[in-house]
């Protein structure tokens, strides 16, 4: 094909074509940029909203945790005070000895020839003092009998709760031809 | 409008659009990054709290258990501050066992402990009882006192046998009860 147009006209046509191409490119970019902007706007919006939501939630969690932390501190204090009170109440209400049991056991531990004249217990001294007597009814050696009794006493249920037994003030006397031995026993609480 | 003018206008619009989009997107990304930093910071703080829900629940359970235990203990060891209530109870026991008291004496109240934070103090009310009874009744009496549904502490026991009557002993018992008083 032979172009019969003059050079001037040809240049004009080429210029117009270039201008049209440029317009097309610019319009395309504008449209592309419009689409890109819209997409990025929605994506960024979504991303921001998501992060805001997470932030709101964890701020709430932090407030809850702070409140819980204060509550934990106060509960720890309360628990400590309750445990101390309970410990004190337990100390106050602890009984090392149940006296009805102890006296029953004492009665069971005493041989027939023995009787208690005086019994004294003071919790502040932590000591049970007994003044007792022993009568010789069957012609036995009272000293060894008493020694055996004191020794055996340590293995009876009566002795539970006591640490040691001390024998003192042993006196021998006679009454209506019967040999009697008076003695004192001190039982020290554990 | 001429084509070159239109192109220029389009170029200007495109440049403005790119600049505006860049500016807004940049500031938004900056905002989002700040949000993410805040989230990270708070998450680290939350990590420091540990598993607080479980700890709190555990502590609540523990404290309610100890409160129950302490309340039960308090109900057991503390009497009414009015001593006549205790004397009435002890007289009822004596009546039941046909025991006659020689005397019942009350003594000055002693302070055992105080809890200023709870505004309470614990007081001890001592009481001494004397009677003349046989050994078995004494044991029954002590059994009733020591198994009472409230705490009674036996402080002293003195048993003396009389020369003329070896079966009836002179008995002195010092007991004490605890009361709780608000400061």
Same domain, B103 and B171: yes
Q: Between A11 and B2, whose confidence is greater? A: A11
Same domain, A53 and A140: no
Q: Return the pLDDT at A174.
A: 87
Chain A contacts of B60, Cβ < 8 Å?
A: 75
Range of the domain at B8: 1-49
- Closest chain B residue to the Cα of A37, Cα to Cα: B21
Check whether residue A88 and residue A17 sit in a common domain: yes
A144 with A180, same domain: the answer is: yes
pTM of the predicted protein model: 0.71
Q: Do A23 and B7 touch (CB under 8 A)?
A: yes
A90 and A117 inside one domain:
no
B154 lies in the same domain as B94: yes
Chain B: give the shortest CA distance to residue A55, in Å. Answer: 6
- Name the domain boundary from B49, B65, B88: B49
How confident is the model over A95-120, as a mean pLDDT? 87
Task: Please check whether residues A51 and A84 belong to one and the same domain.
Answer: yes
CA distance A118 to chain B (A): 4
φ, ψ for residue A174, nearest 5 deg: -120, 145
Chain A hits for B46, Cβ within 8 Å:
58, 61-62, 65
For chain B, what is the radius of gyration of the CA atoms? 41
- Taking 50 as the pLDDT cut, the residues of chain B under it are none
Interface of B with A in 56-115 (CB under 8 A): 56, 59-60, 62-63, 66-67, 69-70, 73-74, 76-77, 112-113, 115
**Torsion sign over Cα B73, B75, B81, B84:** negative
Please tell me what DSSP assigns to residue A186. Answer: E
Q: Which of A62, A94, A126 is the last residue of a domain?
A: A94
Dig out the tokens for B8 from the structure. Answer: 């220029």
Residue B69 lies in a domain: no
Q: Which of B135, B166, B180 to substitute to test the interface with A, most A CBs within 10 Å?
A: B135
Give the model's pLDDT for residue B1.
Answer: 65
3-state secondary structure chain B: CCHHHHHHHHHHHHHHHHHHHHHHHHHHHHHHHHHHHHHHHHHHHHHHHCCHHHHHHHHHHHHHHHHHHHHHHHHHHEECCCHHHHHHHHHHHHHHCCCCEEEEEECCCEEEEEECCCCEEEEEEEEEEEEEECHHHHHHHHHHHHCCCCCCEEEEEEEEECCCCCCCEEEEEEEEEEEEEEC
Looking at the fold, whether A110 and A90 belong to one and the same domain comes out as no
Q: Is residue B61 part of a domain?
A: no
Give B168's strand partners: none
Tell me how far apart the alpha carbons of residues B3 and B8 are, in angstroms, rounded to a whole number. Answer: 9
For residue B67, tell me if it sits in a domain.
Answer: no
pLDDT at B114: 85
Chain B residues near residue A103 by CB distance under 8 angstroms: 135, 138-139, 142
Q: What is the mean pLDDT of residues A101-127?
A: 87
pLDDT for the residue A77: 92
Residues B32 and B103 in one domain: no
Q: Please give the share of chain A, as a percent, with pLDDT higher than 70.
A: 98
What's residue B112's pLDDT?
86
Q: Which residues of A touch B157 (CB under 8 A)?
A: 99, 119-121
Q: State CA A28 to chain mean position distance.
A: 74
Q: What CA–CA distance (Å, rounded) separates B93 from B113?
A: 30
| A50 plus A103 within the same structural domain | no
For residue A190, give the DSSP letter.
-
Rounded-to-integer distance, Cα B55 and Cα A173, Å? 74
Separation CA A77–CA B163 (nearest Å): 60
Residue B109 domain-assigned (yes or no) = yes
Does the structure's ipTM exceed the value 0.90? no
Which residue range(s) make up the domain with A55?
A: 1-94
* pLDDT at residue B39 in the model: 94
> Which residues, other chains included, contact B63 with Cβ-Cβ below 8 Å and sequence gap of 6+?
A75, A78, A79, A82
Q: Is A115 on the interface with B (CB under 8 A)?
A: yes
CB burial of B56-77 (b: ≥16 within 10 Å; e: otherwise) equals beebeebbeebeebbeebbeeb
| Domain at A174, CATH number | 3.30.1360.100
Gap between the Cα atoms of B168 and B171, Å rounded: 9
A81 in the same domain as A19: yes
Q: Do A86 and B56 touch (CB under 8 A)?
A: no
Q: Mean of the per-residue pLDDT values for chain A?
A: 88
B63 to chain A, closest Cα gap in Å:
5
Q: What is the pLDDT of residue B133?
A: 87
Collect all residues with Cβ–Cβ distance below 8 Å to B34 and sequence separation of at least 6: none
Do A64 and A117 belong together in one domain? no
Looking at the 3D structure of chain B, how many domains does it have? 2
Find the CATH number of the domain harbouring B148.
3.30.70.60
User: What whole-number distance in Å separates Cα of residue A103 and Cα of residue A133?
Assistant: 17
Looking at the structure, tell me whether residues A161 and A103 fall in a common domain. Answer: yes
- In terms of domains, do B43 and B81 share one? no
Share of chain A above pLDDT 90, in %: 33
Query: What region does A126 belong to: left with phi over 0, alpha with psi -120 to 50, or beta?
Result: left
Which residues of chain B have a CB within 8 Å of the CB of A54? 39
Residue that terminates a domain, selected from A94, A122, A146: A94
Kindly determine whether residue A95 and residue B153, on different chains, have CB atoms separated by under 8 Å. Answer: yes
For B9-46, give one letter per residue: b (16+ CB within 10 A) or e. ebeeebeebeeebeeebeebeeebeebeeebeebeeee
Q: What is the pLDDT of residue B20?
A: 92
Residue at B114 is within a domain = yes
Q: How near does any CA of chain A get to the CA of B80, in Å?
A: 16
Same domain as B41, residue B91: no
Q: How far apart are CA B153 and CA A119, in angstroms?
A: 18
CA–CA min distance B157, chain A (Å): 5
| Same structural domain, B84 and B155 | yes
A86 and A52 inside one domain: yes
Does B91 reside within a domain? Answer: yes
Number of domains in chain A: 2
Separation between Cα atoms, residue A117 and residue B166, nearest integer Å: 9
Q: CB within 8 A of B99, min separation 6: which ones? A: B93, B131, B133, B137, B141
Say if residue B24 is in the same domain as residue B88: no
The answer for B 116-145 residues in CB contact with A (under 8 A) is 117-118, 122, 135, 138-140, 142-143
Among A22, A48, A62, the residue with its CB nearest the CB of B35 is A48
pLDDT band at A1 (very low <50, low <70, confident <90, very high): low
Specify the 3-state DSSP secondary structure of A164.
strand
Q: In the prediction, which pLDDT does B80 show? A: 84
Q: Answer with the one of A53, A73, A94 that is the final residue of a domain.
A: A94
pLDDT band at A2 (very low <50, low <70, confident <90, very high): low
Q: Find, among A120, A125, A107, the residue nearest to B172 by Cα.
A: A120
**Is the pLDDT assigned to residue A95 strictly greater than 80?**
no
| pLDDT given at position A178 | 86
Return the residue matching tokens 């997107």: B25
A71 at interface of B, judged by CB pairs closer than 8 A:
yes
Inside any domain, residue B59: no
The phi, psi pair for A120, rounded to 5°, reads: -140, 130
Binning pLDDT at 50, 70 and 90, where does residue A47 land? very high
Task: Name the residue among A40, A76, A104 with its Cβ closest to that of B25.
Answer: A40
Judge whether B85 lies within some domain: yes
Residues B31 and B85 in one domain: no
Domain ends where: B9, B31, B49?
A: B49
In the 8-state DSSP scheme, what is residue A158? Answer: G
For residues A86 and A104, state if they share a domain.
Answer: no
């Amino acid at each position: 094909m032979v172009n019969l147009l003059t050079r001037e006209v040809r240049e004009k046509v080429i210029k117009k074509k270039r201008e049209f191409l440029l317009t097309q490119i610019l319009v395309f970019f504008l449209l592309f940029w419009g689409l890109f902007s819209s997409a990025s706007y929605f994506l960024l919006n979504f991303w921001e909203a998501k992060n805001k939501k997470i932030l709101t939630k964890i701020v709430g969690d932090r407030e809850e945790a702070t409140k819980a932390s204060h509550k934990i501190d106060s509960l720890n204090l309360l628990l400590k005070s309750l445990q101390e009170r309970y410990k004190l109440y337990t100390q106050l209400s602890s009984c090392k000895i149940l006296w009805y049991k102890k006296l029953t056991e004492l009665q069971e531990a005493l041989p027939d020839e023995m009787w208690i004249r005086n019994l004294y217990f003071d919790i502040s001294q932590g000591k049970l003092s007994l003044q007792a007597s022993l009568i010789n009814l069957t012609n036995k050696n009272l000293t060894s009998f008493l020694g055996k009794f004191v020794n055996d006493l340590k293995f009876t249920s009566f002795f539970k709760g006591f640490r040691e037994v001390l024998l003192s003030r042993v006196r021998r006397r006679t009454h209506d031809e019967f040999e009697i031995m008076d003695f004192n026993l001190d039982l020290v609480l554990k | 409008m001429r084509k070159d003018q239109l192109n220029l206008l389009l170029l200007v619009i495109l440049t403005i659009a790119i600049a505006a989009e860049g500016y807004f997107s940049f500031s938004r990304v900056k905002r989002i990054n700040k949000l993410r930093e805040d989230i990270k910071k708070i998450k680290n703080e939350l990590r420091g709290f540990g598993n607080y829900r479980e700890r709190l629940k555990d502590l609540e359970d523990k404290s309610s258990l100890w409160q129950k235990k302490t309340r039960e203990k308090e109900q057991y060891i503390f009497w009414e501050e009015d001593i006549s209530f205790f004397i009435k109870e002890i007289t009822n026991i004596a009546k039941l066992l046909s025991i006659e008291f020689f005397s019942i004496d009350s003594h000055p109240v002693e302070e055992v402990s105080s809890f200023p934070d709870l505004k309470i103090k614990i007081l001890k009310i001592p009481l001494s009882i004397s009677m003349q009874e046989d050994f078995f009744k004494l044991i029954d009496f002590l059994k009733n006192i020591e198994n009472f549904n409230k705490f009674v502490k036996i402080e002293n026991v003195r048993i003396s046998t009389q020369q003329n009557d070896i079966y009836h002993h002179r008995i002195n018992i010092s007991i004490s009860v605890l009361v709780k008083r608000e400061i």
